[in-house]
Structure 1
Amino acid sequence: MKEFFSLLKNGSRSALWACIINAVVATVKGIVFFITGNVAMFAEFMHSIGDSANQLFVYIGSALSKKEPTDRFPEGFARLVNLVLLGAVIVVGILAYETIVKGIHHIIDPPGSGSWLWLNIGVLGLAAVLEAFVLYKAMKEITADVEGEDITGFKIVTESFKNAGDAKPATKLVFLEDLVATSGALIAIIGILIGTFTPFHAAEGYASVIIGLMLFFVVGRTFLDNAAGILGISDEKMEGKIGEYVFEASRVKDIRDLKVIRQGQELYVELKIELDSEMTIKEADKIRDGIEKKILDEKGVTDVIIEFDQDDQVQNWNNPGGAT
C-alpha cells in the first residue's frame, strides 16, 4: 500500500485536477438538473460524471504505469495507462449514448419554453470557466512535454493544438475531454437561450445530441490511440531525430536498422549501425557511448540497444521521420 501511494505522486496532475473539478461540477449540474429538468443540463451532467470517473482512472493508471519491472512482469507496466484508457472510453461511450437518446426524445416531443433560465445559464457559465481552467492546465502539460520549455501567453494555445498528437496518453485524453466539455457548456447555453426566447423549443435537444456526438469523437480517438499504444507503435518523428544523431558521428556509414517503439509513455530504441571497416573496437565503443547518451537524453526514452555491423556498401537509411 505504501508503494501504491508513492506511485500516485507521479500520476498525471492534469488528470487529477480534472477529476476534482469535474466531480464538483457534476454535483452542481446534477442538483440543477433535478430542479429544472433541463435536457441540455442533463447532457452536461452526464458529461461531467463521465469526465470525473475517466480522469480518476487516468490519474491512477498513469501513476501505476511508472511501477518498476518485476520478475513476473519483466517488461514493466508502461502499457498499463493505455489499458486503463481503453476501459475509460467504455464509460464515455455509454454516457454519450444516453445523452444522444435524451436529446432525441426532447427533439421529438419538446416541452414549452424553459424555466429557471438564469440558474441554468449561471451554472453552465461557471462550468465553462472551470473546464477552461483544466483545459489550460492540460495545454501547459502538452507544451512542457513536447517543447521542454515554459511557454507563456497565447502561444500556449496554438502550440498545444499543434503538439497534442505527441502528448502523453493521459494528458491527451484530459485535453480532448475538457476541450469538448468547455465547448459543450457553451453549446448548451446557446441551446437553452434559443429554446427559451424563440419558438424553436427543440434547440436544447439538438444541443444534447451535439454534445453526445462530440463525446463519441473522444471515444473513437482515444480508442484508436491507446489500442496502438498497447500493440506498440513506432515513433517515426523520434526515428528521424535519432538518425540525425547517428550521422553526426564520424565514420558512420549507414543505419542498417532503427526501431523506436512507444509503449505507454516510454520509448524503446533498437539501432544497428554500419561503421568503417577499418575502425578499432575502442573507436566504435566511443561512438556508441556518444550516440547512446544523446538518445537517452531525449524525454521518454528508457532503453537503448545499439549494435554494429560492417559497411555493406548499400545505403539503407532513408530518414522515415522526415528530419533533415
Structure 2
Amino acid sequence: MNELISYPDGIHALESGYGRPLLAAIHIVVEGDRAAIVDTGTNDSVPRVLTALAALGIAPENVDWVILTHVHLDHAGGAGSLMCALPAARLLVHPRGLRHMIDPTRLWEGTVAVYGPERAYELYGLLVPVPPERIVPATDGLDVLLGERRLRVFDTPGHARHHICLWDDRARAFFTGDAFGLSYREFDVDGRAFALPTSTPTQFDPEAMHDSIDRMLAMQPQAMYLTHYSRVTDVPRLGSDLHRLIDTMVAVARAARGDGVTRHVEIVAGLEQVLREEAARQNWALDEEQTLELLRMDIDLNAQGLGVWLDSQRAVEMQPA
C-alpha cells in the first residue's frame, strides 16, 4: 500500500482519504500481533483501515483500542462504523465526547451548522452510534495497555474542550490530534517541518492551548504524530513557533472591528497576512498564492474560532463584578 507510511517503534500512518492527499492521517500502532488505531477519519476511511491492517498482518479481532483525540468528524466520523468491523476493540474518548459517540445527533447538528446539510453528508455520511459498554472514558493520566506497551492519556484542551493527546512510552512520542497544530508536508524544506495552530469553530481557548503545548513539551518528546499531517521532529522549535503564532492570531482577532460577517472578513484578511509573513520568515516550499490556497479552509475555520472566542471574552467582561 503506497498510502501506508511506516515509522520506528511500530507506528504507521495511513492516508485517511479525507479531502486532499496529505491532509489527514490515521495512525496505527502495532505491538506484536496487537494494534491500536488513533483517530478514524470518516466512514469512507474504514475500508482503508481494514486494508492497512491486513497489509500489516493484524486480524480485525486483534485490534484492542480505537482511540479518538477528539470527536470532530475528520477525526472521529468513522468511529462507529469502524467499531462494527473490530469485534474486540474498545473505544477510548474524552468524557466530554463520550455521549456524542453513544448518540451522535448533536454532533451531526453542529457539523451541519458549519458545513450545511448537503456538504456535511457528502463529507461524512451517516454517523453510526457506538454501544456504551464498548466505550472507555479517557480521563487524564489513564494508562491503557497494548500488549506490554503503555499509552497514557493527557487532557489537552485549547483546540477543543474534549481533546486528549496520547503519550506513547515506547516511542517517546505523542499522538496529538490537533493540539500541536497542523504541519502540512507541502511546506517542508529539505525535511524541515513547520507548524501552525488550528482553532475550532466553537471551543478555541488560547490560554488552554498554550498550557497543553507546554505540558507536552515537558515530556521532552522525540516526535509528534499529528493528524494533519503525521510525524514531525525538532519538537522544541515547533512548539516555540506555535506559541508565537497563537499570540499573533489572538492579536489579529482583537484588532478586528465590527461584528458578524464584517469582523470575520477582517480576521480572515489578518490571518492571510500572518501567513504571508510566516511563509517569508520560514521560506516555505510553496509560493504565496499556493500557500493561501492550500490553507483556505484552515484560515476560514480559524477565523470562525477566533470570532466565537472573542464573543465569549466579551460575555465574560460584561458580567457584573
Judge same fold: TM > 0.5, yes or no: no
Q: Larger C-alpha radius of gyration, 1 or 2?
A: 1
Higher relative contact order, chain-length normalized (CA < 8 Å, sep 6+): 1
Question: Which has the larger helix fraction?
Answer: 1
In which range does the TM-score fall when normalised by the shorter chain? under 0.3
TM-score normalized by the length of structure 1 = 0.24
TM-score normalized by the length of structure 2 = 0.24
